[in-house]
């Protein structure tokens, strides 16, 4: 056996530090830097300088440089308990009445941009097309239900890529397709798509590159509270 040839595939594998950094990697390092600032381990200037470096880092190894002198970088985080998102919302959590209706009959209707999603939205498409884009929406509630009915029509639903997405429904000579999505953030909104496609089409999937900003705002608020608490001492 040629041991050298046998070892080549393993030797050629890149080390973790050489891997390209993802947005999730940068967010993790940025969170550690925020905690260090709140604890007084970094000055405001040091924090700003390191954050700028994190944004420009290309590999995991480059990211680790900015936190290697901080205790949090050497602590093994406890694995969070995973609670599966149920296929349907909690009983009584969502009212039967819709906060808004989007209807297209022999026409088209669009709901997109910075808008308040509410708890329930009904979308009806009859020989028409409906587009529901939640990628920039304001989520005031953790659970959002979208009832989508398509009859000889088309309903397209797009959500941020860091929410959870569930679907319950079907098609009658039509297509009902919901891409199941699980968020790593336990407090992330959950979008439930419920409906039918009769000789029509209903699709729901994440919009890549779009993340709900409200989750990040909650994280920043937590850091700000810790910082204020530290300064009040």
Domain tally, the chain: 2
Same domain, 158 and 194: yes
Mean pLDDT in residue range 63-82 = 73
Provide the pLDDT confidence category of residue 169 given band limits of 50, 70 and 90. very high
| Residue, of 72 and 203, whose pLDDT is higher | 203
Count of other CB atoms within 10 angstroms of residue 163: 26
Residue 179 is assigned to a structural domain of this protein = yes
Confidence of residue 167 (pLDDT cuts 50, 70, 90): very high
Cα–Cα distance for residue pair 157/223, rounded to 1 Å: 33
Same domain, 59 and 161: no
**Could you tell me the CA-to-CA distances from 12 to 4, 5, 19, 20, 93 in Å, in that order?**
12, 11, 13, 16, 53
- Whether residue 228 lies inside any domain: the answer is no
In a domain, 137, yes or no: yes
Q: Which range scores top for mean pLDDT: 33-42, 67-76, 123-132, 181-190?
A: 123-132
Please indicate, yes or no, if residue 125 is contained in any of the structural domains. yes
pTM of the model: 0.58
Give the three-class secondary structure for 170.
strand
Residue 34 shares a structural domain with residue 114: no
Q: What is the DSSP pairing of strand 143-151 with strand 108-111? A: unpaired
In-domain check, residue 113 = yes
If asked whether residues 108 and 167 sit together in one domain, one would say yes
Confidence category of residue 84, pLDDT binned at 50, 70, 90 = confident
- What are the C-alpha distances in Å from 173 to residues 10, 92, 170, 197, 201? 50, 32, 10, 8, 9
Does residue 7 belong to any structural domain of this protein? Answer: no
Under 8 Å CB-to-CB from 219, ≥6 apart: which residues?
Answer: 31
Whether residues 105 and 205 share a domain: the answer is: yes
**Whole-Å CA distances, 207 to 148, 163, 165:** 18, 11, 12
Question: For residues 78 and 198, which has the higher predicted lDDT (pLDDT)?
Answer: 198
Taking alpha carbons only, the member of 163, 167, 164, 165 closest to residue 210 is 163
Q: Are residues 120 and 199 in the same domain?
A: yes
Mean pLDDT of the chain: 83
For residue 26, the enclosing domain spans 19-74
Mean pLDDT computed over 181-209: 89
Q: Is the pLDDT of residue 96 over 80?
A: yes
């Amino acid at each position: 056996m040629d041991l050298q040839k046998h070892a080549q595939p393993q030797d050629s594998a890149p080390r973790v530090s050489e891997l390209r950094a993802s947005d999730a990697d940068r967010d993790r390092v940025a969170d550690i830097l925020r905690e260090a600032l709140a604890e007084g381990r970094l000055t405001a200037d040091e924090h700003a300088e390191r954050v700028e470096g994190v944004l420009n880092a290309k590999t995991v190894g480059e990211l680790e440089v900015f936190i290697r002198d901080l205790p949090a970088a050497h602590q093994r985080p406890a694995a969070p308990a995973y609670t599966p998102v149920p296929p349907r919302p909690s009983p009584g959590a969502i009212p039967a009445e819709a906060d808004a209706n989007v209807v297209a009959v022999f026409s088209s209707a669009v709901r997109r941009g910075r808008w308040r999603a509410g708890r329930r939205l009904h979308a009806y498409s009859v020989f028409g097309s409906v587009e529901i884009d939640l990628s920039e929406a304001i989520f005031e509630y953790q659970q959002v239900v979208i009832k989508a009915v398509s009859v000889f029509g088309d309903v397209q639903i797009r959500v941020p890529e860091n929410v959870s997405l569930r679907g319950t429904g079907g098609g009658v000579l039509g297509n009902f397709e919901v891409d199941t999505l699980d968020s790593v953030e336990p407090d992330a909104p959950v979008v439930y798509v419920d409906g039918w496609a009769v000789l029509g089409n209903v699709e729901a999937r994440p919009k890549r590159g779009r993340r709900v900003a409200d989750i990040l705002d909650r994280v920043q608020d937590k850091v700000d509270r810790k910082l204020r608490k530290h300064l009040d001492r």
